[in-house]
Amino acid sequence: MISGIKKFFKNKTILITGGTGTFGSSFIKFVIKEKMQLKKLILLSRDEYKQHNLSIKYPENKYKFLRFYLGDIRDEERLVTVMKDVDYVINAAALKHVYKAEHDPIEFIKTNVYGVQNIVSASLKNQVKKVITLSTDKACEPYNLYGATKLCAEKLLLAANNIKGKNKTYFSVVRYGNVFNSRGSIVPKLLSLKNKNIIKISDSKMTRFSMMIDEAIEMVNWSLINCNGKEIVVPKLKSYRLIDLVKAIAPKCKIINEGKKIGEKIHEKLISNQETENIFFNGKYYLIFNENKPSLKIKNFKKIDLNGYNSKENTYLSINELRDKINSIK
């Protein structure tokens, strides 16, 4: 757990947009398990069904700090209302499925781009202390529409630091790779197929970054405490080969390559070659500043030379390590 997080969160109000997704529901567990003394944890989402299920699992009479609000980040007026007296905003709201983005691009733009601008506007109007948006490796040199919208979201959020005037709101980005135990992960799909004779994958050469949801929460908490605006925070992660993941889950299955799906990359990047001029590293996290003379206020970071950061040219998880991770989330 991040040092000083309990003191930092005490009597604070946090809003998580897209709050009934993997990150928000896992954040609730973290708050309860670690006995964080939050004033309020507000979960905003447009999914009435998930809100209903979570409210049954975490009843208000027992978890008095929890609030479930219906709403959409496409609606700035609703965001302004919900953000009243909020200290920190974590934006986890997004449309995420790569293939759907290629067929319904405008819907992704409305949520992932316009929605983030609404969060910026509402945060400034309410003088929120800090806003962290969750991004993805697909925003780095984007090949698909989803990645392009997340890159736009990053740019919008970071640029907000330049238009806030005397407002003391800070805007930062957390960019990470595939979360194993998330709803968008390939792991649940592979687990459902492990008793079949054949498993079809896009390409046996495909690699991805690996991360657990607990690591994502820790990274966001670290960013809330330490970031001062304009940073993109990137974790140092291991990679895995897709074919090794299949072998870890279903070692007896025959594997067939069916070809890359629309919008898919063979390998992912977390840091592009163009982002390497102002990179700082502390052994665990990279900080990217997209400006010539960044003002680094965080201790224990040193400027480094880095020629990009991709999932292919990286340390790989073994099949046994992958199996251990999968067993830990069942």
User: What DSSP string runs through 92-154?
Assistant: ------HHHHHHSHHHHHIIIIIHHHHHHHHHHHHT-SEEEEEEEGGGSS--SHHHHHHHHHH
* Residue 94 token pair: 């997004």
Closest residue by Cα to residue 8 from 221, 284, 299, 287: 221
* 138 classed as catalytic: yes
In the chain, the DSSP E strands lie at 13-17, 40-45, 66-70, 88-91, 130-136, 170-176, 178-179, 198-201, 207-211, 231-235, 239-241, 254-257, 269-271, 279-281, 285-289, 302-303, 309-310
* Residue 176 token pair: 């990470």
User: For the chain, how big is the Rg over CA atoms in Å?
Assistant: 20
C-beta separation of 178 from 210 below 8 A: yes
Q: Residues for the chain: how many in total?
A: 330
* Residue 300 token pair: 């224990």
Q: Which residue among 138, 265, 269, 325 is the active-site one?
A: 138
Catalytic positions, please? 138
